[in-house]
Amino acid sequence: MSSVRGEFSSRFGFIMAAAGSAVGLGNIWGFPTQTASNGGAAFVLMYLILAFCLAYPALMAELVIGRHGQANAVSSLQKLGNNPVQKKFAFFVGFGGIICAGLILSFYAIVAGWMLSATLEPVATTVGAAGAAQWLSEQSLVRDLSFTLIFVALTISIISKGVENGIEKWSKRLMPALLVILFSLIAYVLTQEGATTGLKAYLVPDFSSLLDPGLLVSALGQAFFSLSLGTSVMIIYGSYISKQENLVSLGAYVTLIDVFIAFVAGLLIIPAMYVAQAQGVEIFSASGQLLSEDTLVFQVLPALFEGMGGVGVFVGFAFFALMSIAALTSSISMLEAPVSYAVEKFALARTQATWIIGGIIATVSVTIILNFSALFGLVVQLTTQFGQPLLGMLCCIFVGWIWHRQKLLSEIQEGHPEVASSVFWRIWPWYIRFVCPLAIALVFINSLN
Ligand code: PFF
């Protein structure tokens, strides 16, 4: 039964929605390309450690804040504050997260727009619309503006339908589709010449790079981005979880799926690069460095698909459809964060709130596109390198230092008393109090050097 403010109707529904938020361009594009330029399996290893030891505990903090609050991120955090100062601090963290989610969506929609146009290009080629195919494949202001706006409109249309009929329904459809496309593409690419060299580059670690502090910073940033932390998204998704569910295992499922898909995406992207290389496409620069991420995705891979002949059109379509689907299930979560706040704070109707906020975000996206070289990198850096780790850390501080330990335990074990004697409860409160804030702060300070 759904409550008035909306609730996920099932355990599966929540897992698909939260994993849908987590699994996005960060997994399928960011993780493999970061791995390839950071020492292959050494990066994977570091990522796994950070994802389970730091990002999972931080994810649990956000989920439990939301489930306890049963409200938007600001109100949920404010319920934990005991005095006016703490409540102000709660507002700062919750509202900061909402702004961060909105800003991430504004640049994410631009990249997702590129994916959408790349998905349509093979379709135009197949139906013989050579002019349209040409327009879709060439970067232009009109093309970028159009597809960014189309992508934001798609996101708005899902979010305006609410939690169960919008977020949950579409995540349950799109996530299985994503898995089918991903595995079919892997099966295909691994049969191609050059794939084995790619697999070796991915799975054989270069341990010397483990000591590189840059690797640690990149891996933590990637883990936070991938689990959508520090953006109030997981607080709001947590608030839609029924009190009967076991939060500890739900959070673990989401982390496992996220890490699994990132790892599996590596089995597609890195071998694909080497298959392209075997076909004569350059993937390394003259100095031996891997080419930039966008060169790889928008030049190397399309060149690879083209070289495959007839089947290439289909593979290219499937690849960019995969990227677009992954982006959509993430973007809906980013829009839900500010929309849920506006609906509850200003008593707006959901459709109205969604269009207003979607409109504001689209305006920011357009501004970024029109000032691309000055703004794109800046917004990415501001949100992912500073905003997310910092706000994620503050959520840990809230749970670890401000919330009463006994109340925290009763929320975590609601309907599942066995949690009180679990290994999780023995370790996690201590982790969230000391280890997470300190580790995040250290890595963060390191990244400033
Ligand atoms: N987790 C998404 C990805 O890996 O692409 C990105 C993301 C979604 C970041 C939602 C932040 C967010 F609030």
So what's the ipTM on this one?
Answer: 0.99
Determine whether the shortest distance from the Cβ of 101 to ligand 1 is under 6 A: yes
Could you give phi then psi for residue 290, rounded to 5 degrees?
Answer: -65, 140
Is the pTM value of this prediction over 0.90? Answer: yes
Asked if residue 138 is part of any domain, the answer here is yes
Q: Once rounded to an integer, what is the mean pLDDT over residues 329-339?
A: 97
Residue 55, pLDDT score: 94
Task: Evaluate if residue 29 carries a pLDDT over 70.
Answer: yes
Residue 3, pLDDT score: 47
Q: Once rounded to an integer, what is the mean pLDDT over residues 227-235?
A: 96
Q: Report the separation in Å between the CA atom of 286 and the middle of ligand 1, taken as the mean of its atom positions.
A: 33
Query: How many domains does the chain fold into?
Result: 1
Determine whether the shortest distance from the Cβ of 102 to ligand 1 is under 6 A: no
Task: Evaluate if residue 231 carries a pLDDT over 80.
Answer: yes
Asked if residue 366 is part of any domain, the answer here is yes
Determine whether the shortest distance from the Cβ of 334 to ligand 1 is under 6 A: yes
| Least confident interval from 39-43, 119-123, 180-184 | 39-43
Whichever domain contains 175, its CATH number is 1.20.1730
Q: Once rounded to an integer, what is the mean pLDDT over residues 5-18?
A: 92
Closest residue CA from atom 13 of ligand 1: 228
Q: Give the DSSP H or E segment for 425.
A: helix 423-430
Asked if residue 5 is part of any domain, the answer here is no
Residue 4, pLDDT score: 62
Asked if residue 3 is part of any domain, the answer here is no
Distance CA 361, CA 155 (A): 11
The range of the structural domain enclosing residue 71 comes to 11-448
Residue 286, pLDDT score: 74
Burial classification of residue 67, based on how many CB atoms lie within 10 Å of its CB (0-12 exposed, 13-18 middle, 19 or more buried): buried
Q: Once rounded to an integer, what is the mean pLDDT over residues 176-196?
A: 92
Q: Report the separation in Å between the CA atom of 24 and the middle of ligand 1, taken as the mean of its atom positions.
A: 6
> How crowded is residue 92: how many other Cβ atoms within 10 Å of its Cβ?
14
| Least confident interval from 30-34, 77-81, 131-135, 374-378 | 30-34
Report residue 73's pLDDT band, with 50, 70 and 90 as the boundaries: very high
Residue 399, pLDDT score: 96
Quote the tokens at residue 192: 């191609």
Asked if residue 4 is part of any domain, the answer here is no
Mean pLDDT of the chain: 91
